[in-house]
Amino acid sequence: MLNDASGFSEVYIACGYTDMRLGIDGLAAIVKNTFHLNPFHEGVLFLFCGRRTDRIKGLLFEGDGFLLLYKRLENARFQWPRNEAEMKQLTPQQFKWLMEGLAIEQKKAIRKIAPVSIC
């Protein structure tokens, strides 16, 4: 389920460390009070990671309640951004990179440019 972002309208990650003992209410409070986002948006996935980068938690509102997702890697680690305490919105490509164990900011990735009008 977490390897494919096609089921989510948006994906956000909480950069930095999160206390992984928190449950639904605690994570929803972080989304609302710290990052000033609405955790009740249907289909929006919020991802959190603790100091051990082999596990993440996801918070997803499905319209009638919350779903708490938990993923633990057996032989790998997530490349989680630790430098800022902010919520970042991920593109589907960045989400794919994160789930594959890669950094969300690839230095050598070919970036798309906006079309230029030729006069």
What is the per-residue pLDDT for 106?
Answer: 74
What is the per-residue pLDDT for 20?
Answer: 93
DSSP-assigned beta bridge partners for residue 58: 47, 69
Give the mean pLDDT per block of 10 residues along the chain (119 residues).
74 92 96 93 93 92 94 87 82 87 77 76
What is the per-residue pLDDT for 117?
Answer: 78
Q: What share of the chain is helix, strand, coil (3-state, %, to 5)?
A: 20, 25, 55
The closest of 78, 102, 100 to 14, measured between CA atoms, is: 78
The C-alpha angle 44, 46, 50, rounded to 5 degrees, equals: 170
What is the per-residue pLDDT for 81?
Answer: 85
What is the per-residue pLDDT for 107?
Answer: 74
Return the amino acid letter for 25. D
What is the per-residue pLDDT for 1?
Answer: 60
The closest of 80, 88, 92 to 5, measured between CA atoms, is: 92
What is the per-residue pLDDT for 109?
Answer: 67
Q: Radius of gyration over alpha carbons of the chain, in Å?
A: 15
Tokens of 27: 């994570």
Q: Where are the domains of the chain?
A: 5-99
Question: Given the DSSP bridges, would you call strands 10-14 and 44-49 parallel, antiparallel or unpaired?
Answer: parallel
Quote the CA–CA distance of 16 and 69 in Å, as a whole number: 19
